[in-house]
Structure formats: structure tokens, C-alpha cells
Structure 1
């Protein structure tokens, strides 16, 4: 009885494992930096070639219906189970493999040689498919072939992200006459879909925090990012008065000193952005503005520990309520012992624009000791609380950053005037 000869690809897989075993067994002590770098590049190219061979096999698997052996619903479903990859990953890889093998010969050759990585190949396929199927109609096959060759050539100098950008504008390079019209149609389509897909969901977790998800058009996402980064940036305004080199060094030092992760900096900036939004900038809702009303007992307003409440039904700590009453666009409703309204916050409670400008010119930023927050990240604070007869004036006001303004109204901290215009905060024992 004769044995069935194994296919050469099966032998390739077996030899690969043997060669890899040799590589893992080899010591690295004699491998210098230059040879290490060369080996890394060669291994990356070999990995690309191996991925191309696997992609070819995946396309073949769809033809021979490898899933029929186990009753799986599709080749991708079979591969996900057999190779222990996610279904989304399996479907993506099978889809790319079929597209490359059926339509894009130049891309196949580049993948086989190892010049194009799997990630780059996927981007090229998506860009070419968008040209073939997108608005206003499919492009000429010759133009599509030119676009394929151009993107494959760009892969030598651009990673997958760079290729994605080039893929969106590839017609401007290979067919300028139709590139502008095509891009205009594509952008209009994307903008319509983005506008239709706008979403914002929020939910309370019952522990004082609200979680949310949103989807907005790309332009509005860019606008929000700029707003948040402007608030979150640790760089100071007075750096522009330094020589260029010194300013750059100081700015880099300020960035390095802020060890908060980007997601935290932007999250805190988002909170500050919401607090900066004034009622006058918002439309009326059912005849009433969007101002939030915080209700508190007189004892809380003058420094007590009783919690306050918002007109939305939410509760606030006394320190947070006093901080917001000091400067945010929020109306504090102060109640007496019989719950009668003793005081409703008036516009005179808040520093007006000329007063704030004077504070900026005098203080230059946060007046807490050791803090260098610039004026645009600060709020106007009353040295003498309004509730105790304090007046809204420049002489008895100061700038405090968002964080130190919270500390100033936190009863666990003691504020000490240093006589230099600065405040020193110390946690009470």
C-alpha cells in the first residue's frame, strides 16, 4: 500500500518549525548590534512572506470549502475556531485574502516578496475597493491598476497609517482629472453618514459618576480635541516672552512635569469645559435657561458640613457646592431654618470681565503656592466669602486654578496667606 505524498506546503510548515527551534536554541551573546538589527529586519520580511503564504492558503480554503469537514458555517468561522483567533479577525483576514488573490496581482507579488506587510495589504485592498465600488461610479480598470501600483510603491516608505491617508487621495496622484470630483463625492457621503450616526449616551453608576459614549463627525471631534488640549496643556502663556529656544525647553519641561495620562488630562479638561459654559451661550429650554440651581442650608453656605442638592435631584458635598457658587454659572439658593429662600445668587456675585482682566494682569495665573496654571485655566475666587458679607472686588479676589479652587472650598485644607499674593494650602490634621 503506497503512502500519499505530502504537499510541499506541508513540508514548508514542518521545516519552518525546525528552523525556528534552531533559532530559539541559539545563544545571543555573540550577536552584535548591527547584526541584531539586520536579523530583525529580515525576520520581519520573512514574517510578511509567511503571512502572504497563509493568506494564499486562506483564499484556497474558501475554494475547497475547508469548513465542510467540521460543519462550520464559513471558512472564517472554521479558521476562528481552529486557529483560536477572534471571529472578527478571522473574517477580516479571509476577506483580505480573497480580495488580494482575485483582483490585485501587483499587491500579491509585493506580499510574496515580503515588501508589504499584512496591515499594509489590508489598507491597500480597502482603498482600492473603495475606488472600485465608491461614488459616483467605478473607476476605469486602468486607473485602478495605476492606483494599485502606486500604493504598493508607497508601501516601501509608509506604514499602514500613512498608506491609509495616501489611499484616500490616490486619484489625485494617478488621475488628477477625476480625483477632485471623486473626493468631493466621497467626503459628502462620509459627512452625511457621520451626521446621521451622531450619538451620545450617558448613564449614572450610582456612585457619583456618569459614564458615556459618543459618536460625532470628524470635524467636531477635531474641534473638541483642540478645546480639551488647550485646557489640559501644562504650558504657560508667559513662555511666549522667552527666546524661542528657551521657550521650547521650558514647554517641554512643563509637559514632562505633568505625569497625568492623556485620557485623564482630557477628561479633567472636559469637566472644566462644561463648567466654563455660560448660560448666556446656551438656548432657552421651554422658556427657562440651562442654569443649574444648587440648594443648600445657610449653615452649608457659611462653612457647614450639610450636603447640598441640585435642581436635577443630584447631591453635592458642601465644599463642591461652595466652590461652584463662587464662580460657576450656577444659582445658589440659600435656605434659612424654615427652608425659606434667604438669597438667590445674583450676577454681582461673580467677577465681571474688567475685574477678571485686572486679576489676570495682577496675578498672572493661579495664586496657590507652587502652581503655574495660566489664567485661562483659572477661576475667580473670593477671599472673603460672599455668604459672610464679602464683596466681589479685585482687591479681595484672586485667581485659582480649577484644582486649587476645589481645595480652597474643601474644609479638610487650611489656607494661609503668604504676604506675597500667594496662598499656601495645608491639610488639616
Structure 2
């Protein structure tokens, strides 16, 4: 085939694929009505279809759902059966129409979106679907749009989440869901600004690098404090390695190792605080002069303890400075007579229902009193 024949064939195959998708969805819905798979103990026709064809369950369930949805939307079913719309377009149209109230002309709305499908893909149709009232009920459009946006924002706030994990090979992976208007759009704008992008498209690699720059540039002083410190990251490295005289890995206060070159690169733009116990430049012991530990003391303790010192605890964030001897009982405020504990174990240390034991190795043990 020459270029023209190849192009025509691709278009024809796409339309044929749409026709087949309608037929498959229609048969899948019929199979669901007949409870196909019940004879072999399948919980549903979708489960049976997934197992029999090695399809994922969400995809099989989506096929059955599309078939049932098309039964309620004959205009869209007919357009899909004739290859006039694609399966993803059909799903968007059905969803948009189903969001309308019963007091509006849904058939007119469906016909409008079907006509727009000839010029727009599924993503653009989704946007148009939010403005259906401007076509079928213009007098109510503004109020309807405001209600839809408010509902979407509430749903987005509830769905907000972030998951991260370290793969053990120097890379952290993650997924997140955030509200578009209040967080997604500002984040995208910030990343584009950092990347210096003149166009509205960046590669995933460029976006990832911009995110790293964003994290490293964000001033820690603007973050809320927890346990007397904000989210200050400590890079612990020998002076010889810092100055380049030897090559020795550094350590973050959260326990992760960092190459000497990366540590030196970070420290070029960071505040350098020498954590040397007893150094004249750091007042690490103020005796009874004050109750709460200074920022310098807390940083020194974090550098020394590398996390909560309670036995069996591996928490490294949001640590509190705790006096061995309570300040109210005559204890002194310094690094030597203090220990870092997480919020949970700090509460246990002040809970009279527990006995606290400070061991020689610096760890802390808790035992419930009888």
C-alpha cells in the first residue's frame, strides 16, 4: 500500500473497531442478563469473561457496563454500531447525559454531543459535556455549572492522596491525585516556570526534573514546624569529604546514603551548620536558663540519634526533643541529657502508666506499669 492507501486503511480499521466494540458490549450485556458463568461458579459474567479471555476484571466489567449503558442511549448505540463515534467517545457522551436532571431534554443533549464527536476526541467531548446546559437550557447554565464545579471540587478533595515508595536502588516512585483547580493547575504552572518552557508540553523526564528542582528550591522556613523544627534535611558528611580531600559517602538524617558529590552540590546552596558538640559557635547547653531546646540543639540531636530512639521504632520524621530528667524536676536543657522521640513515644514518656528506661546505648525502652 502507498501512503494514501495506508491512511485510508487505518481510518477504516478504526471505524470497524468501533462497530465491533458496540457488538461486543451488546453481547456482554446480554451475557450478564443470562448470568453466563454461573454454571462454573463465576460471581458475574464480567468475572467469567475476564477469567476466560485473560482480560483484566476492570476492562471486562467496563465492557458489560457499556453494553447496559448503550441500552439506555439508543442514539449513541446506533452511532457506535455504524462507526460514527469511538468507544471512548461513547462512554463520555453517556456519562455527560446521565449527569443531567430529568427535567431537561436529554435526547437533544445526546444528539448535540454526537454531532460534536465528529470534530472532537473524547477528552474535548468531556469538556463540552460540562457545558451542555448552555445549549439545551441557557438560562440555567451558570447556576448548573457552578453546582457541577462545586461537586467536582468536593469529590476531588475527598479523593486527594499521595503514595510513595523507595525501590532500594536510589529511586522513589509515587502516584498522586490532587484537585485540579486548587493544586494541579498551580503545580503545573510552577513546573513549567522552573523548566523555562515556552510551550504547553513537556516530556515526562523534563517534568520530573522540574519537580525535583521545585522540591529542592522550596524554602524550608516556609514549612510548618513539628517538634520545634521545620522540614530541614540534614546532610551529615565529614569535613574532609566536604572539602573534597577524600571521597566518603554522606548520610541524611533519615538514614539514606548520599554520594559525596551530591552532598557537596546540595551544600553549595544550603545553610551549613557544623554539628560539633561543644563548639563555641553552637550553644548546645543552656542549663536551666530555658525549658525548650534551641534549634541548634535539636539539629545536633537529630544528627546524633538518626530517628526516634524508642526501641523498635523506625520513625525519622516529626521528632521531638525529650529531657531525660523532666525540666520540672530539675532537668537541664542540653543535648547530652536529651533524646529524640517521635510524637507517639514522646507521649508515652510522659504517660504515668508507662515506665521509661534510658539505656547506655542511647535507646529508650517503655514498659506498661502493673
Shared fold by TM > 0.5? yes
Instruction: Choose the corresponding residue for 2:124, options 162, 166, 169.
Output: 162
Measured on the aligned residues, the alpha-carbon RMSD in Å equals 2.8
For 2:3 and 2:253, the matched residues in 1 are separated by 66
| 1:71 positional shift | 3.6
For 1:37 and 1:318, the matched residues in 2 are separated by 55
3-state SS in 1 of match to 2:229: coil
Look up the match of 2:7.
Answer: 37
CA distances 1:34-86 after superposition (whole Å, capped 9, x unpaired) = 44433433333233223222222223223333334444221212222333322
| 1:117 positional shift | 1.6
Look up the match of 1:199.
Answer: 161
Look up the match of 2:214.
Answer: 273
Tell me if 1:128 matches 2:97. yes
Mark the runs of 5 or more structure 2 residues left unpaired by the alignment: 283-370
Tell me if 1:294 matches 2:214. no
Tell me if 1:176 matches 2:138. yes
| 1:280 positional shift | 3.1
Tell me if 1:50 matches 2:20. yes
Tell me if 1:316 matches 2:258. yes
Look up the match of 1:405.
Answer: none
Compared with structure 1, are the counterparts of its residues 79 and 229 closer, same or farther at alpha carbon in structure 2 (3 Å cutoff)?
A: same
Instruction: Choose the corresponding residue for 1:190, options 152, 168, 176.
Output: 152
Conserved 8 A contact 1:80-1:86:
yes
Instruction: Choose the corresponding residue for 2:86, options 113, 117, 125.
Output: 117
Look up the match of 1:231.
Answer: 194
Compared with structure 1, are the counterparts of its residues 75 and 228 closer, same or farther at alpha carbon in structure 2 (3 Å cutoff)?
A: same
CA distances 1:372-410 after superposition (whole Å, capped 9, x unpaired) = xxxxxxxxxxxxxxxxxxxxxxxxxxxxxxxxxxxxxxx
Compared with structure 1, are the counterparts of its residues 120 and 286 closer, same or farther at alpha carbon in structure 2 (3 Å cutoff)?
A: same
For 1:209 and 1:157, the matched residues in 2 are separated by 42
Compared with structure 1, are the counterparts of its residues 69 and 310 closer, same or farther at alpha carbon in structure 2 (3 Å cutoff)?
A: closer
Aligned length: 280
Matched ranges for 1:30-429 at <5 A: 31-101=1-71, 103-131=72-100, 138-140=101-103, 142-219=104-181, 220-233=183-196, 262-304=203-245, 305-328=247-270, 330-333=271-274, 335=276, 341=279
Conserved 8 A contact 1:293-1:332:
no
For 1:209 and 1:229, the matched residues in 2 are separated by 23
For 1:57 and 1:35, the matched residues in 2 are separated by 33
| 1:343 positional shift | 6.0
For 1:42 and 1:98, the matched residues in 2 are separated by 26
Using the size of structure 2 for normalisation, the TM-score is: 0.67
For 1:112 and 1:90, the matched residues in 2 are separated by 19
Higher helix residue share: 1
| 1:95 positional shift | 0.6
Compared with structure 1, are the counterparts of its residues 340 and 202 closer, same or farther at alpha carbon in structure 2 (3 Å cutoff)?
A: farther
Mark the runs of 5 or more structure 1 residues left unpaired by the alignment: 1-30, 132-137, 236-250, 256-260, 345-429
Conserved 8 A contact 2:24-2:63:
no
| 1:341 positional shift | 4.0
For 1:290 and 1:283, the matched residues in 2 are separated by 8
